[in-house]
Amino acid sequence: VKVACQREDNSYYSPTEKMLSFGTGGVNDAEDAATILHEYGHAIQDHQVPGFGESDECGAMGEGFGDFLAASFFADWKPAWLRPAIASWDCIDFAGEPPCLRRLDSNKKYPKDITGEVHDDGEIWSACLWELRHQLGRGTAERLIIAHHYLLNRWAGFEGAAHAMLTTDQQLFGGRHQNTLR
């Protein structure tokens, strides 16, 4: 981990170096626990599927999972209005109520709202994962979501990931959540 890697307000996970790097522009990104967990989410996926994120949709799922991981980890300790927002401390000087990097309660739909920008498209995936957390509960949703990565490849798309989620539910829970997942 490099907590002061660059002066820009940008942080990232490097799959070649297996390293989390945090920028110091604005608020130091390493001071925001949600930013740290978001980047750690990329490391988790890269460990499960080396090179994860080689296609636009796979990259978007990586961004969406990172956002989900950060939001889910802290949700039970936040007031309801802040739960779907991530990186509020890092974005304290930004406009918005609450100030945040991204939200997980988007109403974007696949495929009509795909733009080709991984952070924007990641909001589609994170909203889906966030809704699963509400429907299935934190423990079940996190277990299902993290385990389904093992059935993906580094070029996976949203549709393949949805099928992998159904298969993982069958393997872990005997298909108990199929209707909710569909």
Q: Convert the pLDDT of each residue in 99-155 to its tens digit.
A: 899 999 999 999 999 999 999 999 999 999 999 999 999 999 999 999 999 999 999
Rg of the chain over CA atoms, in angstroms?
16
- At residue 92, the pLDDT reads 87
Average pLDDT on 64-90 reads 95
Strand locations in 67-108 (E): 85-86, 102-103
**Do residues 87 and 71 touch, judged by C-beta distance below 8 A?**
no
**Do residues 29 and 35 touch, judged by C-beta distance below 8 A?**
yes
Q: Which residues contact 93 (CB under 8 A, 6 or more apart)?
A: 26, 27, 99
With a pLDDT cut of 70, the percent of the chain lying above it is 100
Spatial separation of the C-alpha atoms in residues 33 and 146, rounded to whole Å: 20
pLDDT tens, position by position, 26-57: 889 999 999 999 999 999 999 999 999 999 99
Query: Which of 38, 39, 9, 45 has the alpha carbon at shortest distance from 24?
Result: 9
